[in-house]
């Protein structure tokens, strides 16, 4: 079959491979080119160890404190608040105990498949050098949060995720650049990180082209409801295919709306600063629990980033936020390079209120498959999503129950 994928981010590139595996003819369309969105600049964690949704009772308790600080780890731009309200209401609903549990099940089920899917894809595509398996750490400054992490570890164990609680001394041995401020850490020996998000996205995309996929630069504005979907773009652009996949990240909402699905997709904007060439400060990614930032030793250089800002897709970045992340990092890590020597970046996480992506067929055209909204874990879940999309296109029973990811679940 001839299949078009809208979006050449990491999710679109991963889907391309899964469809090529099945012998399909693949056309990748992107308004900018490969690796334009958050796939180019994320923190580079294969974060399959994370199973908690953002809408959690714990986070809700912290929201008022966060919102009082306009540069805190979670912020809403005042001008965007009215537009965000419907999303926020759903976010509140998603934090109720039953919904919270559903999100954990959904995230965990997908995360369980994430690392094996990446290792398999990297092996087949000759991209193993991009995957580093040195584990990952979450360092704690707050004793009660560290104690609470034990409960989370029990939940993680349900999904086969290994977690070791370690003390401050062991933490310093693993990461000598960390200051002496931590009560302990959780160590995930199986966690992985990647060489660099842009490098990996481009490498995966190029590998798909080498296998026969074709790329065209085009902004898709509509998709027809016909038996053979027509992808319509600006200036008379039109391609008719047998199947289409929408993997346009945070920009997917209008395309789904055109096919009858009002999906509450918004964006959690995230920030980071990278120091090209700065390697070896830490050996593995480290998250700083309760402080809203992570540090990743990418091959391209050290990256410090995080934060969640609701402000839509149009507002320019506010790098005062990045400066705050860097200053915080300086309180916990020795030897950081000067902020001014770093490269600043902001990216758009494609986020649903329940932290679950949308994976399923369109209401008005069963020949169009959605695969977007992976929020904080798109890089992690991309290859597993590719496998599920291939199942849907082949009309096979998907490897996991997709009802939690249904576009019509809201
Ligand atoms: C600060 C930050 C840190 C993060 N850290 C991690 C991490 O450590 N691990 C992890 O797993 N995830 C992480 N993420 C999340 C991850 O980056 C995203 O979930 C993921 O990149 C989404 O990929 P995607 O392919 O769905 O979307 P995108 O990367 O946004 O790609 C979508 C593509 O679609 C194209 N497009 C959009 N609209 C159209 C249209 N109408 N026509 C044609 N093309 C279109 C765009 O140009 C873009 O290239 C992080 C995100 C941020 C912001």
Q: Quick one: which atom of ligand 1 is closest to the CA of 247?
A: 26
At 363-380, the pLDDT tens digits run 999 999 999 999 999 999
pLDDT of residue 150: 87
Give the H/E segment covering residue 131: strand 131-132
Per-residue burial over 218-238, b = 16 or more CB atoms within 10 Å of its CB, e = otherwise: bebeebbbeeebebbbeeeee
37 lines ligand 1 (CB under 6 A): yes
CA of 373 to the centre of ligand 1 (A): 9
Nearest CA to ligand 1 atom 2: 42
250 lines ligand 1 (CB under 6 A): yes
At 243-280, the pLDDT tens digits run 999 999 999 999 999 999 999 999 999 999 999 999 99
pLDDT of residue 168: 97
Residues 6+ positions from 64 with CB-CB distance below 8 Å: none
Task: Output the pTM of the full model.
Answer: 0.97
pLDDT along the chain (410 residues), means of 10: 98 98 98 94 96 90 78 88 95 95 97 97 98 97 93 92 96 97 96 97 98 98 94 96 98 97 98 95 96 95 96 97 96 97 98 98 97 98 98 97 97
pLDDT of residue 74: 87
CA of 29 to the centre of ligand 1 (A): 15
* Spatial distance between the Cα atoms of 301 and 274, rounded to a whole number of angstroms: 6
pLDDT of residue 146: 95
Superfamily the domain 2-405 falls into: FAD/NAD(P)-binding domain (3.50.50.60)
Give the H/E segment covering residue 62: helix 57-67
73 lines ligand 1 (CB under 6 A): no
CA of 363 to the centre of ligand 1 (A): 24
Helices (H), 76-142: 81-94, 97-125
């Amino acid at each position: 079959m001839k299949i078009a994928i809208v979006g050449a981010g990491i999710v679109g590139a991963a889907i391309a491979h899964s469809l090529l595996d099945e012998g399909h003819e693949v056309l990748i369309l992107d308004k900018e080119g490969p690796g334009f969105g958050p796939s180019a600049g994320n923190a580079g964690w294969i974060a399959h160890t994370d199973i908690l949704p953002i809408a959690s009772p714990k986070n809700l308790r912290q929201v008022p404190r966060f919102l009082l600080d306009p540069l805190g780890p979670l912020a809403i731009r005042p001008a965007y608040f009215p537009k965000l309200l419907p999303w926020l209401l759903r976010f509140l609903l998603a934090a109720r105990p039953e919904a919270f549990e559903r999100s954990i099940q959904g995230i965990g089920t997908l995360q369980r498949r994430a690392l094996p899917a990446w290792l398999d894809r990297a092996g087949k595509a000759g991209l193993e050098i991009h995957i580093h398996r040195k584990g990952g750490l979450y360092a704690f400054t707050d004793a009660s949060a560290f104690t609470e992490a034990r409960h989370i570890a029990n939940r993680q164990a349900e999904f086969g995720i290994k977690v070791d609680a370690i003390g401050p001394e062991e933490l310093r041995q693993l990461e000598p650049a960390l200051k002496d401020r931590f009560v302990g850490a959780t160590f995930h020996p199986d966690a992985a990180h990647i060489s660099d998000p842009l490098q990996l996205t481009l490498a995966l995309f190029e590998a798909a082209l080498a296998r026969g996929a074709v790329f065209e630069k085009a902004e898709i504005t509509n998709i027809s409801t016909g038996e053979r979907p027509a992808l319509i773009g600006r200036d008379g652009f039109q391609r008719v295919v047998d199947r289409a996949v929408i993997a346009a990240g945070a920009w997917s909402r209008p395309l789904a709306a055109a096919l009858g699905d009002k999906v509450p997709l918004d964006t959690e904007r995230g920030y980071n600063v990278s120091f090209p060439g700065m390697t070896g400060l830490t050996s593995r990614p480290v998250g700083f629990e309760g402080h809203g930032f992570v540090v990743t030793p990418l091959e391209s250089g050290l990256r410090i980033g995080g934060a969640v800002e609701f402000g839509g897709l149009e507002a320019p970045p506010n790098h005062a936020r990045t400066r705050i992340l860097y200053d915080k990092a300086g309180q916990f890590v020795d030897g950081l390079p000067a902020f001014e020597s770093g490269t600043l970046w902001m990216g758009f996480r494609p986020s649903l209120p329940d932290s679950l992506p949308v994976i399923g067929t369109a209401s008005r055209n069963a020949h169009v498959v959605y695969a977007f909204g992976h929020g904080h874990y798109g890089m992690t879940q991309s290859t597993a999503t590719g496998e599920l999309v291939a199942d849907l296109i082949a009309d096979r029973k998907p490897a996991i129950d997709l009802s939690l990811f249904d576009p019509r679940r809201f």
